[in-house]
Amino acid sequence: MEEPWQPDAVQSRRLDQLEASMSEYIERNIDTIEMNLPVFFGHVAASLDRSFPSLPDREYDEFIDAVTLKLLNTIRHQPDVDFLEKVLRHAMGNKRRRKGRATLDVIAGLKLMNSGNFSQALDYLIKHRNADARINTAIAYCFYRLGQHQKPAAKPLTPFRPGNMELHAREEMITLIRANPPQNRLILFNQKDSQLDKIFWFMQEQAVEWFPSEPEFLRLGIRKARLDEDTQRRQRLVALATERFHDDKYFLTEAFTLRIEQRDGNAAAAIVKQMMQQYPDDHEPIYFGLKLAVFGAQPSSYYSFRKLALLKEFPSRLLLLLDIAFELMCNRQNEAHLCFLEAKKAFGKRNHFMTALEYIFRDAHRDDPERAKRARGTLITAVDQFCMQTLGIRQD
């Protein structure tokens, strides 16, 4: 009999409940589970098959990974490699996709790191280098910790020289910024304050200290903080970056975005002024000036930057979209409507972007203030993303 359809949110909640139930079972029966690993993993697979017969393979395998992590974090002894391999073999045997075990190998590597077996942990981690930036930092951390054991006793007036293992750690961090692997790819470790994340931030801070003139390590941290929605860390990193590299356009762009998010118009305006001086021929300072004027509903500032945009040959369609956003922010509904009609002509018929924007624009004129406010915000975000893409302003 076919499983009845359920919304994704309902299925996700049921999966969470099953995972919580499995966690309780592991905690109560860990000694028995250790002696009967095939039976335990068979029980996990049977529970999934029975409760979620139509579960996609990826989610099925991620559940097996999560149970394996809970199992290895619950055992009362420090496992050796033979035991870890046994656990991983049974976990892989019950997955639907029988190839690729990066998440399981990282789980094993972290377990070995917790017991101080950093050399053995490297065997599990190195083969997945560049699969996720956090694996690279975990590799670097292993070398760093091995180097801690090599440090000789400090001698007065003797300059410090890093040992071979610490040099390997530094080389690994350099490899990381050159390869630029994806971040947060291993979903299991994306929970806040996961061990893999803590290692990442420790090594990111070490790299910033080791290489104070290299901006890429600060970029690495800012991208990660933005992904994690960690505003406080992002603020600290941006402040340090703009202090050390005051003329770096990436960091200035990030600082401007932060100030806009914090509704700090004065600080954002100061950044625009600085960028106008340092990058007078680039699109960013002019567009950011327009954006700030739209958000602040400042006519004189908007018209001033619009003239500069015309001189820099900004696409006319882009300026028409900004006119719509500006008039909406000034609560000039009739003017906004006329600007929208002009933009529709410029974009032509059957333009998917304008079609979608028109529905949002209509909501922005609703009598319901809350709905109209949300619609304005959505429209301005859509226009902003379109403009950033059109002008080639990247914020990776």
**Residue where one domain finishes, among candidates 64, 99, 134:** 99
* Of 255, 286, 314, the domain-final residue: 314
Q: What is the DSSP string of 120-132?
A: HHHHHHGGGTTSS
Cα angle: 342, vertex 345, 351; to 5 degrees = 120
389 belongs to a structural domain: yes
Same domain, 350 and 386: yes
Say if 374 falls within a structural domain: yes
Query: Which residues form the domain of 48?
Result: 11-99
Same domain, 306 and 266: yes
17 assigned to some structural domain: yes
The answer to whether residues 17 and 86 belong to one domain is: yes
Tens-digit pLDDT profile for residues 60-115: 999 999 999 999 999 988 999 999 999 999 999 999 987 779 999 999 999 999 99
Q: What is the pTM of this model?
A: 0.88
- In a shared domain, residues 342 and 308: no
The pLDDT, as a whole number, for residue 1 is: 45
39, 66, 272, 348, 376 from 69: Cα distances, Å = 17, 5, 48, 55, 45
Which pLDDT tens digit goes with each residue over 128-180? 999 999 999 999 999 999 998 765 555 554 454 567 899 999 999 999 999 99
Is residue 358 in some structural domain? yes
Q: 288 and 365: one domain?
A: no
Does 172 reside within a domain?
Answer: no
Count of domains observed in the chain: 3
CA 260 to chain centre: 20
Does some domain include residue 394?
Answer: yes
Question: Does residue 361 sit in the same domain as residue 308?
Answer: no
Distances in Å between the alpha carbon of 346 and those of 123, 232, 294, 341, 352?
59, 42, 21, 9, 13
Q: Are residues 66 and 39 in the same domain?
A: yes
- Whether 329 and 395 map to the same domain: the answer is yes
388 occurs within a structural domain: yes
Tens-place pLDDT, residues 277-293: 999 999 999 999 999 99
In the listed set 99, 125, 158, which residue is the last one of a domain according to the structure?
A: 99
Residues 274 and 304 both lie in one domain: yes
